[in-house]
Amino acid sequence: MDIERRTFAAEGLHIEKRDAGEIRLVGHAAVFNSLSEDLGGFREQISPGAFADAIETDDVRALFNHDPNFVLGRNRSKTLRMSEDARGLAIEIKLPDTQTVRDLVVAPIERGDVSQMSFGFSVKPGGQDWAKDDEGRVIRTLKRVRLFDVSPVTYPAYQQTDIAVREMRSFQSKLQEQERLKVPMNLLRAREMLARAL
């Protein structure tokens, strides 16, 4: 399965210390209706509801830097809570009470050294729309995704993914085919004859 990753500056990413020494990481792993930077020929946005199925059915891990050796929580064990709110995909992770987590996760987030969140996903069938906006930019809208992980990250992942670029090229091919079909048939024949003559 192809996994894509997107990173967001996580405004409000913070540590909460609760009674009995419990430490939680709270913030948003994704934001709705906000256009990404250029991801290699297209921009992307996430529709509200894109994570609804994933929250209910997917087995999602909270990892540090997307590292499966550094598990911070999991929704099935109730140490990761996720919900959609007006802003996006809200997360709350009950962090393991270990010195490693305190040193490598809690302290850097409290200091502001780690301030971004990322999520690993794949698009479900029919779960995306491709279109051009009024300025001619290609926009991908995520409507339904399968969620693998949410991660506080030190560095954002490389934004351009082969998977998304492949999907964008498929969309562009369909647009070109539609444009080709709009050309009158006699003009098409003339172009083909001219191409053969050259």
- Give residue 163's pLDDT: 41
In this prediction, residue 158 carries a pLDDT of 40
* Mean confidence (pLDDT) of the chain: 84
**pLDDT at position 198:** 62
pTM: 0.76
Question: Is residue 43 within 8 Å of 83, Cβ to Cβ?
Answer: no
DSSP3 helix / strand / coil % (the chain, rounded to 5): 30, 35, 35
pLDDT beneath 50: ranges in the chain? 158-165
pLDDT recorded at residue 47:
96
Residues 6+ apart with CB under 8 A from 154: 65, 108, 113, 114
Q: Dihedral of the CA atoms 3, 55, 106, 95 (nearest 10)?
A: -120
